[in-house]
Copies of this chain bind each other. A is one copy, B any other.
Amino acid sequence: MTLAYSPDTAPAASPLASLMDRVGLRMPFAKGEEIFGQDEAADMIHSIVSGAVRTTRLQSDGRRQIGDFYYPGDIIGLETGDLYRFSAEALSDCVIHVVKRSSLHVLRGDGSLDRTLWEATRRELERTQEHLLMLGRKSACEKVASFLRDVAQRVGCEDVSLPMGRQDMADYLGLTIETVSRMVTQLQGSRIVEFASARQFRVTRWPALERLAA
């Protein structure tokens, strides 16, 4: 999570990824396709090779919350007992390395696998706690600022392209798409970020962005 990565290509492999390479299967998914579904039996672990993924949870009345966005090198499907608690969908065309949980037993023994999975789960927990903090106590403007900062930071290069649309941002931040749009416009008005198109931007004033993200 803290590592830099090259978008759309396989990144420097995590320890787990290298273990997983020995078992499992690479599968392509088309943009918008479901990788796994909420409440399905959780018998797979997924590692992203290329592309981007969102995890979502749908309530009966249609309200949607996005759990997180995932990029090459990230693992999804850890957070679960017997059933997936979120569904996962491809934000773009992507390739996923899929491993049956049961086949991981082959690699068990020295305990290093267990500890690696635990480590990954802990990082996931940290990210979720950070997300929690944002939802609970930040204003709309601070939320959008934090989001753009996090994405820009992760990519690490000048021009950032967002793999997700406004609705996804809104459902991640607990806002409406109108509010997200207004805040983006506002941040642009104060010359803190600059959008070339709706999904392409760069940060023009990092300190100001950091300050707003609080």
CB-based closest 5 A-B pairs: A136-B174, A135-B135, A118-B118, A111-B111, A114-B114
A25-55 vs B: 1/0 string, CB under 8 Å? 0000000000000000000000000000000
A59 to B213, CA, bound (A): 12
One of A94-102, A120-128, A160-168, A183-191 contacting the partner: A120-128
A87 touches B (CB below 8 Å)? no
CB distance from A123 to the nearest CB of B (A): 8
Check A81 against B132 for contact (C-beta < 8 Å).
no
- 9 new A-B contacts at CB < 8 Å, known A79-B126, A128-B128: A57-B133, A59-B214, A65-B132, A65-B136, A67-B129, A86-B129, A108-B111, A121-B121, A135-B135
Sample (28) of A-B pairs whose CB atoms are under 8 Å apart: A57-B129, A57-B133, A59-B137, A59-B214, A64-B137, A65-B132, A65-B136, A65-B137, A67-B132, A78-B122, A85-B126, A85-B129, A108-B111, A111-B114, A114-B114, A114-B115, A118-B118, A118-B121, A121-B121, A121-B122, A124-B125, A128-B132, A132-B132, A135-B135, A135-B136, A136-B171, A136-B173, A136-B174
